[in-house]
């Protein structure tokens, strides 16, 4: 088992939202409210079929909730032991010992990086990083923590070319490289 960097002292890296995240969130809320208002107007004008008006009204409400989640109720925390993901205000903790491989994909909704953590049972966990101002630091911290917990961590070539091999010096010392 590898050890934490002696000089690091960092126990947790938390996400920080970027200005773009708030702009996207406000945009989603405005579009959802506009869609909801159009559905109310369509309902009172007697647009048929009614189920389509209801369907688009539900879509508008979902867009509002998605905007609130995107801007204010989501988050990410990386510790040397676990990855915590917050969605719709609820935290989920994922122990890092269960992941065997990591890959990086381009996120189609913003061009940022999306990490894919692959568990022993073939289950994959997507970690979208596009919404965070400190996405680079979160990525390095997560890769360092995974590297500390798994001696045989497989970093896919696409991710290794883009970022290099861990450790990056966030949780593990840079000199302890394999």
Kindly state the average pLDDT of the residues 114-133.
88
The lowest-confidence range among 5-9, 54-58, 81-85 is 5-9
Question: Which residues, at least 6 apart from 122, have a Cβ–Cβ distance to it below 8 Å?
Answer: none
pTM: 0.81
Q: Strand, coil or helix: what is 121?
A: coil
pLDDT of 23 over the 70 cut: yes
Kindly state the average pLDDT of the residues 86-95.
93
What band does 53 get if pLDDT is binned at 50, 70 and 90?
very high
pLDDT of residue 111: 67
Starting at the edge strand found earlier in the chain, the sheet holding 124-128 runs: 124-128, 113-119, 99-106, 154-155
């Amino acid at each position: 088992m590898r050890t934490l960097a002696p000089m690091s002292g960092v126990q947790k890296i938390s996400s920080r939202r970027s200005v773009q995240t708030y702009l996207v969130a406000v945009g989603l809320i405005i579009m959802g409210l506009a869609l909801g208002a159009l559905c109310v107007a369509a309902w009172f004008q007697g647009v048929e079929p009614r189920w389509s008006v209801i369907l688009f009204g539900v879509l508008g409400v979902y867009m509002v909730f998605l905007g609130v989640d995107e801007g204010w109720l989501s988050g990410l925390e990386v510790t040397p032991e676990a990855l915590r993901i917050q969605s719709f205000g609820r935290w989920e903790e994922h122990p890092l010992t269960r992941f065997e491989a990591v890959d990086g994909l381009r996120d189609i909704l913003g061009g940022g990086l999306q990490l894919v953590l692959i568990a022993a049972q073939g289950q994959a966990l997507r970690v979208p990083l596009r919404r965070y101002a400190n996405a680079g630091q979160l990525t390095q911290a997560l890769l360092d923590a995974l590297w500390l917990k798994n001696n045989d961590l497989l970093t896919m070539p696409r991710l290794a070319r883009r970022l290099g091999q861990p450790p990056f010096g966030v949780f593990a010392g840079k000199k302890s490289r394999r």
